[in-house]
A and B are shown apart, each in its own frame.
Chain A
Amino acid sequence: MSAEHKIMQFPVKSPYHPETAENVLRGFAAFQAEQADSAELTDLRIEGLNYVTQHGLPTPKLEGWKYTNIIPAVRGFDRLGTVRVSSNTVPGVIAQPLVKSIVEQDWVKKLICDSQTSTDLNINPILWHLANMYFRDGVSIDVPANTEVKEPLEIVMECDDGAFYVVHTAIRVGANASLTIIEDHRGKGKFWKNRLSHITVAPGGHLTHIRIQDDSKDAVYTQNTKVTVAKDGHYNAVALYTGAAISRNQIHVLLTEPGALCHLNGASLMRGKQHSDTTILVEHLAPHCESNQNMRTILDDQSHGVFQGKVHVHQIAQKTDGYQLSKAILLSEGAEMDTKPELEIYADDVKCSHGATTGRLEDEPMFYMRSRGIPEAEARALLIESFVAEIFDEVKGEEIREQLLERVRGWLEK
């Protein structure tokens, strides 16, 4: 033993960088001064403010943010813009601006003010708090029990150049009600849109949620979605990402009662230096639930794709059916895909599987098609389209599916 014993003190290394939030904090006092709603909402905002002040924005030092660095892209934004949220009028759907519904309707207030953030490392709550801190713009959507809504509800969220935006959505699908929502994001210019969506599907309710993310190639898009599905409820999501310079899609689904089901389908088509991150956590909190995550990624040029998907099966959740598959195709040498599929299982009688593949477009089908006279570019487009189209199979309406395929073809033609 050595004679001298020195106790070393290591500095605590924090993954948080409070200074990264400086710009987005700057406008808060002026913003809050303009809001004259309720003490509860002030509390919500202050809680968000405190969290963001202490933790800064998410950096790649954080577990769960290893592959995605939004800091350089959001650095310039210090002005909060106003989002123009609009939707079509659909019989059976009550859609209202949040500022109104949050004071008039208890369920909206509960959903926004009482929702808990996740403690899972992938589903970091910073951007959630950033959204709460600037709570104002957004929409609430309500479908009363037993209402079968045939016509899809289309929502547009418009942003302008040069600012950052915060948008909230609160969606409730009543017992045995059904609804299809189509979100179409086509913002122009350079902006940052940070979203927080709360969705609740009551027993026997069905929600099909289609998100088309085609914001400008200079935009930053971050979204947090929290979904709760009750007994025999279905949440079907289909997302098509072709837009934004950088996007982070953080989706947290809780299957809380037997028979709840969620299918999360996503396709990401990236080129140039685009970056697209889909991070999912599905929690099975009751027996006999089913979850299915299906991701298709096409990466050209120097684009970068990220898929982090986790299925967390709690001890009580026997007879769980949990499935997860990510398939990516790299079209160029410079493209990169990072995948982190995870299963965390505490029940013993479950059926779970996961898989992830990353590869190139196969030579054999290419040659087969070309030998039939189909030019290389067209053969490639057909193969890519069919690769992506698999995840649209869930979409019931022929018209909507065709609309999604049109967008894929549009991307391929560029």
Chain B
Amino acid sequence: MLQIKNLHAAIDGKEILKGINLSIPTGEVHAIMGPNGSGKSTLSYVLAGRDGYEITQGEILLNGENIMEMAPEERAAAGVFLAFQYPVEIPGVQMTTFLKTALNAVRKQRGQKELDALDFLKLMKKKQKELSISDEMLKRAVNVGFSGGEKKRNEVLQMAMLEPTLAVLDETDSGLDIDALKIVADGVNALRDPKRSFLVITHYQRLLDYIVPDKVHVLANGKIIKTGDAELAKELEKTGYAGLTGEAA
């Protein structure tokens, strides 16, 4: 379903992604690990369609369709979702308004009927409960005054509402306490579906105990240098990346 072929991407003339090849079949969960600065977030932004990246080579296919010319909102409608490593604060825009606008925008683009206020509220209440998100939080402006953990849970809430077919989670486990990690992982697992694929970016094997991946890739210096199964993450936890990248840890 997701195919990335020989992807090269640069920002301000500096090449960050240097030939990425990655395929995630429908229904699978793949994890990406790798040192700081190796290009993991860059890959996630390029998938979501952020401005400012120059794709110099390669292509990205979603269900066989090239998405590289699509605007971020079109990709969202096509099923791409990115849980941000650093969720953005939007003062003045209330969470509920934001969620409703997003959901209906996506539904409209997907040719589905937009939800009225009541149906929307019902859906939101349900998802919100599963992720232990308080009403009070949803009355606030988007991510404003949220704790680190609340921001991450909020990302998962948005994912649950938008029902993507490809979800990219960029360090959604960072900054979570043990209970929150469990809640987030349960939230993700609840969404696991034969029609949905995940790309989980993380630094910690801990998360992968909860969300067991089909494959683990190591990204270093803009390239995938190793691919394995869930066991690879456990090895890395012990050995670090030094052995793989040839540099001192």
Contact A370/B73 with A363-B51, A378-B101, A382-B93 known, Cβ cut-off 8 Å: yes
B98 A369 Cβ-Cβ under 8 A: yes
CB pairs A–B below 8 angstroms (13 shown): A363-B52, A368-B88, A368-B142, A370-B76, A371-B50, A371-B73, A371-B76, A374-B73, A378-B101, A382-B101, A387-B92, A389-B92, A390-B92
Interface positions, chain A 366-382, Cβ under 8 Å from B, are 367-376, 378-379, 382
A374 B50 Cβ-Cβ under 8 A: no
B90 A373 Cβ-Cβ under 8 A: no
Is B199 close to A, CB under 8 A? no
Top 9 A-B pairs, shortest CB-CB distance: A386-B92, A373-B76, A373-B106, A372-B102, A370-B72, A368-B88, A373-B105, A365-B90, A370-B73
The interface on chain B, measured as residues whose beta carbon lies within 8 A of the other chain's beta carbons, has a size of: 33
Contact A373/B162 with A367-B51, A368-B88 known, Cβ cut-off 8 Å: yes
Pick from B51, B92, B158: contact of A372, CB below 8 A.
Answer: B158
A386 B73 Cβ-Cβ under 8 A: no
Q: Tell me which of A363, A376, A386, A390 has the highest count of chain B C-beta atoms within 10 A of its own C-beta.
A: A386
Contact A386/B51 with A371-B72, A373-B73, A373-B76 known, Cβ cut-off 8 Å: no
- Residues of B within 8 Å of A371, CB to CB, are 48-50, 72-73, 75-76, 81-82
Is A383 close to B, CB under 8 A? yes
B93 A386 Cβ-Cβ under 8 A: yes
For A379, the closest partner residue in chain B by CB is B73
Is B225 close to A, CB under 8 A? no
The interface on chain A, measured as residues whose beta carbon lies within 8 A of the other chain's beta carbons, has a size of: 22
Interface positions, chain B 73-116, Cβ under 8 Å from A, are 73, 75-77, 81-82, 84, 87-93, 97-98, 101-103, 105-106, 109
1/0 per residue, CB under 8 A from A, across B55-80: the answer is 00000000000000001110111000
Beyond A371-B81, A374-B73, list 19 extra A-B contacts (CB 8 Å).
A367-B51, A368-B87, A368-B88, A368-B90, A369-B98, A370-B49, A370-B76, A371-B50, A371-B72, A371-B73, A371-B76, A372-B102, A372-B162, A373-B73, A373-B76, A373-B102, A373-B105, A375-B105, A383-B90
CA distance A386 to B52 in the complex (A): 26
Is A106 close to B, CB under 8 A? no
Is A364 close to B, CB under 8 A? yes
CA distance A374 to B98 in the complex (A): 9
- Residues of B within 8 Å of A370, CB to CB, are 49, 71-73, 76
